[in-house]
Structure 1
Amino acid sequence: MGFFQPNAHRSEASRSVLARTPVEKLFWESESEAEYTIGWVRITLGLALFASGLLVSSGTAALTEENNLNQLRAAAVITVFAFLALGITSFLLVISRWFRPWMAFVLVTGDAAILGVSLYFALDSIGLGGNWVAAIPTIWAVPLLLAVGALRYRPLVQVWATTATMMAVVGVASVLGFRLFPTGVETPASLGDFGESIGRLFSLPPYLMRAVMLTLMGFTTALAMVRSRRLLMRAVSETARRANLARFLPAEIAPLVGENDVATWRQGRRQQGTILFIDIRGFTAYAEKLDPARLSIFISSFRRRVMRATEAFGGVIDKFIGDGALVVFGIPEPQNDDCARAIACAHRLLALIDQWNIKRGFVPPVRVGIGIHSGEVYYGLVGDDQRLEFTVLGDTVNVAAKIEQATKRFNTALLASETVVMQAQQQRSWIAVCREPLGGRGEHVAIFAYTGTKPTE
């Protein structure tokens, strides 16, 4: 059973990741990538410190006894392997997906501990006091680790990293004390005032300034991380919100619904619009002959053709209704050529259906009915942010639906109201077939059938 426990933990970790919100998941992935990168930095840092340790030991050989020199080299090797081990550990945690947010605090504490131990043994081996800590190459790992820590979007980790690092550096300086020259070495008289200047440079006040500057650097990066995290959260939230809108709204409408526009769109708007209804004739007979998989492919192919024609002429697909669709022209603002574009879209649809029949060899061929009407419509958003729906309502929509249904009675593929024909200025290409009340109202509507030559595709 013991062999399966790691996999069980990993599966549990994977489930916990999937359970996170998109924003939390993004931050988790970002932090994992940051730890992976920082792992490489630790390895590179260890190798760099090893090289610098060799240089320091060779340059101070005249001031260091053989035993202390060996101790210095041993400390350099230990530092290298410590950073290598910490870097590899962070790799393994990320790759195995065992990494948890609290582990970042442990890892940065390890960084501070390694730096402190390395500084202590380097100074102690040479016999220098804590005031020489700025002269040891290892100290320059501090700004490097603080800078690379900004890859995380966790200010608290950065604050703790700064605090732990400064505690390590100050601790080393306090334990070793302040002295200008190595233990057992007299101050050369030839230095004179220069020796006093060096003493002032490596005295307590300058070190306090250095410590303050390093601390401010760490806290400043933490503040930058706070700002970056807020900006990222806003960007992700806005992207998620827009993606959610795109799921439920027409592609042409979603970009128009800004953060402050949802309330306005929910109030709705009345304006002129042109409605096009399209429906497949005899769809029930097709559906009975097709299995679910082929039926899904059939509907998807039909809808792709509706979208192609609609996009070509600037229409907006309000919704697909089974084997039909409702297309609107004049959203968000009505145009003078809305009716003409609706008619052109209808012709394109009929041409695409004809091509589809030839390509697939449907028997019987796919036939559709298209009805077009223009007038006042209401459009807006209904529902909440989790399920917004764009809708077009009004008598114009009802009349357009009745005209589409009338294509069965008149055995034609395309019918339009007199309003549409007149506004498109295409009276010569259409002929009136009837005048009757539609949409449950008393007013009679003249219906026209297309008699002209279809535009060539």
Structure 2
Amino acid sequence: MRELLDAGPFAERALRSPRHVDACILFTDIRGFTELSRSMDPEVLIDTVDRCIGRQALAVERYGGYVDNFTGDGLMAVFRGRLMEENACLCALEIVQRPKRKGMSRADDGVPVGAGLHSGDVVMGSIGCESRLTYTTVGNTVNVAARLSGQAAGCDVVISEPVRAALSEAWARRFRRLEEATPAGVSPTMALYRAGPY
């Protein structure tokens, strides 16, 4: 994304040119959202989700990532560069622990969020039509991160072996080997790790 901002008059060409890059992908998702939506007034529901996702987006920015897209009751974020896995993990841990900050609503603080992370090769480029193009990130790394998010319980972070291998020893110890069956779409030979619930 930084490269596109620096591209100046060549930005449009860059947007239309897909490229392979290394990235760490974070997905988040509110747990029990269907039941939540049935028990809340629509205005309260939207306000709660808005606050929850808004807080997550600010955390992503603080840790040097950016939001690729919002996924209804969660988001997809991209981290790149030095320490991308560690920054993404710190961000995810903050999100699921729901640290209490001044001004945070009690409704938002009570929403359980799960997160999944995977790192590797991704493809960045524009998709859509002439009237609506979106610059986004796609590929197997993205798909795996999304499935790991689905594997996470509330207040839980699930990461892949490539993510854990890139962490410092102190942070790697926060994650323990996942014993459950590997989710569909994830290589059964890939070790998965969990930190949580909090």
TM-score (norm 2): 0.84
TM-fit CA distance, 1:359: 5.1
State the partner residue of 1:380: 125
TM-fit CA distance, 1:276: 0.5
State the partner residue of 1:344: 90
8 Å CA contact 1:434–1:446 kept in 2: the answer is no
State the partner residue of 1:294: 44
Give, as a single letter, the amino acid of the residue that structure 2 aligns with 1:379.
M
Superposed CA offset, 1:32-65 (max 9, x none): xxxxxxxxxxxxxxxxxxxxxxxxxxxxxxxxxx
Is residue 307 of structure 1 aligned with residue 57 of structure 2?
Answer: yes
Give, as a single letter, the amino acid of the residue that structure 2 aligns with 1:419.
P
Q: For 2:147 and 2:55, locate their aligned partners in 1 and report how far apart those are by CA, in whole Å.
A: 23
8 Å CA contact 2:21–2:121 kept in 1: the answer is yes
Distance 1:384 1:260, change over 3 A: farther
Q: 1:288-437 maps to which residues of 2 (within 5 A)?
A: 288-330=38-80, 335-351=81-97, 353-355=98-100, 360-362=105-107, 365-384=110-129, 386-408=131-153, 413-425=156-168, 426-434=171-179
Give, as a single letter, the amino acid of the residue that structure 1 aligns with 2:85.
C
3-state SS of paired residue (2:54): helix
Q: Rg: which structure is higher?
A: 1
TM-fit CA distance, 1:443: 5.1
TM-fit CA distance, 1:270: 0.7
Q: For 1:253 and 1:293, locate their aligned partners in 2 and report how far apart those are by CA, in whole Å.
A: 39
8 Å CA contact 1:435–1:444 kept in 2: the answer is no
Distance 1:364 1:379, change over 3 A: closer
Structure 2 alignment gaps of length 5 or more: none
Distance 1:350 1:263, change over 3 A: same
Give 1 or 2: higher strand fraction: 2
8 Å CA contact 1:372–1:404 kept in 2: the answer is yes
8 Å CA contact 1:438–1:445 kept in 2: the answer is no
Distance 1:307 1:362, change over 3 A: closer
Runs of 4+ with >6 A deviation: none
Distance 1:300 1:290, change over 3 A: same
Superposed CA offset, 1:183-212 (max 9, x none): xxxxxxxxxxxxxxxxxxxxxxxxxxxxxx
3-state SS of paired residue (1:392): strand
8 Å CA contact 1:318–1:327 kept in 2: the answer is yes
TM-fit CA distance, 1:376: 0.7
8 Å CA contact 1:371–1:415 kept in 2: the answer is yes
Distance 1:400 1:323, change over 3 A: same
Give, as a single letter, the amino acid of the residue that structure 2 aligns with 1:393.
V
Q: For 1:350 and 1:442, locate their aligned partners in 2 and report how far apart those are by CA, in whole Å.
A: 25
Q: For 2:77 and 2:39, locate their aligned partners in 1 and report how far apart those are by CA, in whole Å.
A: 28
TM-fit CA distance, 1:284: 1.3
3-state SS of paired residue (2:21): strand
Distance 1:344 1:365, change over 3 A: same
| Structure with the larger RCO, 1 or 2 (CA within 8 Å, 6+ apart) | 2
State the partner residue of 1:276: 26
TM-fit CA distance, 1:440: 2.7
TM-score (norm 1): 0.39
3-state SS of paired residue (1:444): coil
Number of residues of Structure 1 aligned to a counterpart in Structure 2? 194
Is residue 447 of structure 1 aligned with residue 195 of structure 2?
Answer: no
Give, as a single letter, the amino acid of the residue that structure 2 aligns with 1:288.
R
Cα RMSD (Å): 2.8
Q: 1:249-288 maps to which residues of 2 (within 5 A)?
A: 255-256=5-6, 258-288=8-38
Task: Tell me the percent identity.
Answer: 29
Distance 1:443 1:272, change over 3 A: farther
